[in-house]
Each structure stands twice: as C-alpha cells, then as structure tokens.
Amino acid sequence: MRFPRSCGTLVHPTSFPGKYGIGDFGNEARAFIDFLERTHQTIWQLLPLTPTGYGNSPYASFSAFAGNTYLISPDILISKGLITRAEAAKTEIAPGVEVSYDEAFAKKDELFKVASTSFYANLTSEEEKNFKSFKKANKHWLDDYVLFMACSLHYNKQPWNKWDKDIAQRKPEALKSYKKKFKEEISLQYWMQYEFNNQWVELKKYANEKNIRVVGDIPIFVDHNSSDVWANPQYFEVDKQGNRVLVAGVPPDYFSETGQLWGNPQYNWKELEKDGFSWWVDRFKHMFNTCDAIRVDHFRGFDEYWEVNAKEETAINGRWVEGPGEKLFDTILKECGELPIIAEDLGFVTEGVEKLRDKYAFPGMKIIQFAFDSDSTNAFLPHNYPQNSVVYTGTHDNDTSIGWYNQAPEQEKHRVRVYSKSDGSSINWEFIRLGMLSVSDQAIFPMQDFMNLDTSHRMNFPGTSSGNWLWRYTNHMFSEIDEERIASFVELSNRKVIVKS
C-alpha cells in the first residue's frame, strides 16, 4: 500500500525516561506521543516489542509473538490497584542515559509477582472473561511460551536443547509433568503477557486518537533459544537434539569485514510451505494487530538468504540460497489483506529483491548517511529517491548524524557541506531538512538527531554483542528539543497530514 506524505520519529520504549531503570508504557510514553502531536508528526517507529534474550537485543528474543513485560509500567499497575505506591517505590532506580537492565529486571520481577498475586486474588467476573478471551485468542503461541519461560528460568536460561531430554524434545508426559510442576510460574507468565497487551493496546489507542501511526518491526529470523524453535523444530534447520545445523548471517559488508554471523537457525522453508506458511501467516497477523504498519527487517532474506554452517566462526564461508519470495507474500496477502509494510532493503540490493519489493509496492529505505561516499549518482542522495520510499538520517544501526559527521572522511564531509550548502556545524538539522524536503512519502528520524546528540548516545553497533541497546534520554534532553523548528520543517515540506472529518 502507499502511505501518505508524512514524517515521524524512531525511538524504542526502553529509551524513554523514568524512575524504574528502563523506559515503559507509562506517562513518559504519552509525553512522547504528545510531542509528536505538537510537532505535527504522525509516525512513531519502534524496534521489536518482544522479550529480549542475549545481550538485551530486541532482535534476539525468547518469542516472535510475546511482549517484553519489562515495558509494563508500575505507575499503571498502581492506578489499577494491583500494587501500592510504597511497593512501586522500592523498584525505583536513579535515572540516567543508559538502561539499568539487570537492576530493573530484578526489581520488576519481584514487583510483578506482587501484582500478579493481587490480580488473581481480586479477579472479577468481567476481568476473568477478558483474561480467558486473551488466552484463547493467543493460544497458538501463548501456551508454549509460558511453559517455555517457566522451564527456561528453572534451567537458568540455558538454551532449551540443554534441558532434560524429555522436556527439550516435548515428550507428552514431560509436558504434562512440567506444567504441573511450574503451575505458579506459568500463572505469572500468563498474567504478565495479559498486562503487557492491555497496556500496549491503551498506549497505541492514545497514539491513534492523535492521528499517529505506529510502525513496528519484524525481524526475519528468530532466536534459537526461543519458544518458537522449541515448539516448532520442524520449521527450522535444527537436528533431532535441537542443535543448529544451518544459521543466518550476511556476508562482508559496510558494517563488517567478516560479515555478520547472527547464529539464528535458518528456516526449513519446504516444511513451512507444506503447512501453507501458517506460522508466518500467524506472525504477520499478530504484528498487524499490534501495530499499524511493519518494517520488515532484512527483507532481502525473503528473496535469497545467506546460509552458513553452524560450525563456522564467521559469516565469510556461506552461500546464497533462494528464499520463499512471492509464494510467501502471496499467501500473506491472501490471508491478511492489505500489507502496510516497509521493506528494509539496505545493503547490496539485487534485481530479485527489487522485483519482490515492487510487486507489492513496499516502500524501501533510504539512509542519508550513506549518500556521500561517491558521486551524484549515489542512490542515497535525496535527489535520486523514488517517491515510494522512506528516508532516514540513520537508523538504530547507525551512528547519530553528529557522530557520523565527526568521524567521516574529510572528502565525505566536503560533499556534505557542498550538497547541504552549510558549514556542517548543525549537520543533524541539515540532514533532517534534506530528508523532510525529499520526495520520499515518509521521513523518519531517530530521536537522537532531534536532540543534537553525538556517538555516545548511539543505540547499536552491528556485529558486536555487548554494550548495545542501552540508550535512554533524560527529561532535560526532551525539554531542550527545538519543537518549533521541527514543526516548521513539517509545514514547509508538506508532511502535515490533514485528518478528514
């Protein structure tokens, strides 16, 4: 589908300020949405909302369907009477510019046990009806997930193929035994997913009522240590013991000389196709229920994907394999109807990727930071954009614009100054202006660029496994944003979406 000419901000909820060590769905999230409304922006793009695993990466999750329950707001739990202010106060952590993952997790874990106990003890008939409805609607993933998490905690979050053999291989008697053994933890996990869903639905409603569209993110691959692979091993390239056989990655590129060895198990596309791609259909349906549009990460992998033997130490020795392509998206289109999708088509884009993207009119992505390493034919220069595209100064995988400029080769800096007719002293705003005035239907900018921030506030360094996903902004940074400047750019570039009554 084609999107209206519009603009917005890229920021993940973990980056919101607040007093609980990690951003959440509470008041600060609504303050951010109010900021979008005041500046006439109509897009909020975020990263995957799924529970994070290794390295706290939203792209390494315990589930492709579940919600990250650490985004649950204690303040909202207070308003529901599930915890007291005094109980929430014990969870408070001094605010800063980094997420305090370990401390926040430990404190929220204890708080959620209190809230869950209160929920079950005071369950009204209406609430019980809603709870049962939620469990029934999400049964295709939820039952497996809550048991997976209970087992995972029991086994100290070791990969599921390291658990006791009977439960790892889902023997019926073991499943029955473990469900009984971990009944209390399973009840807690059910409630946390229910509460996550309720808080997210209300927050998204708040955004939608202000004419703000929420753009989610769907990683192409899932983590090996996830309920998805444990519950559906036939859909993944794992052996009978659950060990990875073939894994995902990308060959050497802009980000890494040895490529990126992600380690996610590859899909068994033949088995998925035999089943009518039902797992993927369920996944897209779930995402379209969760968000208004989706950025599909590593879109190229659906046309062809880089396959690496699991025994390799880098991604260099891999091979390209044909992906499911049109067969998959024709099925999803048939089952889901309209597909409001943004294709993450960065890197080396082949004719096959372009053909697949364009068949369904998915807009691709244009990154301004990539525009100045060659000449005027560079596809990332704004004058070369197609209208059906989304322009970014950078994404969560890039440096901030100021950080990028400070470290760029002098020749690229010179090209930037010439192209933008500036001295480079406010390069973030120059890039924002270029993006706003481009022909791209959508323009989306990282929050860091609106805040004039440098490399120390970067979100992710691709190819590294630690020190990422930490960034948070403070209330002071938020209050210092030049909202009038943003609003004027929106007006000047005709990106103010008029709502017809």
For residue range 167-199, list pLDDT tens digits in order.
999 999 999 999 999 999 999 999 999 999 999
3-state secondary structure of 18: coil
Helix (H) or strand (E) holding 199: helix 183-209
Helix (H) or strand (E) holding 450: helix 447-450
Structure token pair of residue 327: 């067969």
Backbone angles phi and psi of 394, in degrees to 5: -165, 170
Which pLDDT band holds residue 260 (cuts at 50, 70, 90)? Answer: confident
Residues noted as catalytic: 297, 344, 397
Q: What is the mean pLDDT of residues 224-231?
A: 98
pLDDT at res. 305 = 95
pLDDT of 1 over the 80 cut: no
d(CA 328, CA 273): 8
How far from chain centre, in Å, is Cα 90? Answer: 29
pLDDT at res. 197 = 98
The residue ranking higher by pLDDT, 409 or 463, is 409
- Residue 312 CB coordination number (10 Å): 13
Structure token pair of residue 114: 């209190």
Q: What is the mean pLDDT of residues 216-221?
A: 97
pLDDT at res. 463 = 75
Which pLDDT band holds residue 283 (cuts at 50, 70, 90)? Answer: very high
HEC secondary structure over 266-282: CECHHHHHHCCCHHHHH
pLDDT at res. 347 = 82
How open is the CA angle 417-419-425, to the nearest 5 degrees? 30
pLDDT of 255 over the 70 cut: no
Q: What is the mean pLDDT of residues 99-116?
A: 98
Structure token pair of residue 481: 């944003």
pLDDT at res. 334 = 97
pLDDT of 284 over the 60 cut: yes
User: Which residue stretches of 2-122 are H helix?
Assistant: 27-38, 74-79, 85-89, 101-121
pLDDT in tens, 341-357: 999 999 888 999 999 99
Strand ranges for 18-84 from DSSP E: 43-45
- Residue 450 CB coordination number (10 Å): 26
Contact indicator for 393, 369 with CB cutoff of 8 Å: yes
pLDDT of 253 over the 80 cut: no
Which pLDDT band holds residue 3 (cuts at 50, 70, 90)? Answer: confident
d(CA 391, CA 399): 16
pLDDT at res. 219 = 96
Contact indicator for 325, 246 with CB cutoff of 8 Å: no
**pTM as predicted:** 0.97
d(CA 442, CA 435): 9
CA 387 to each of CA 5, 270, 430, 439, 443: distance values in angstroms, whole numbers, following the listed order: 9, 36, 20, 5, 11
d(CA 119, CA 93): 25
- Tokens 């270029």 appear where? 434
Backbone angles phi and psi of 40, in degrees to 5: 65, 25
Helix (H) or strand (E) holding 412: helix 410-420
pLDDT of 501 over the 70 cut: no
Structure token pair of residue 19: 């007093």
- Tokens 């196709």 appear where? 273
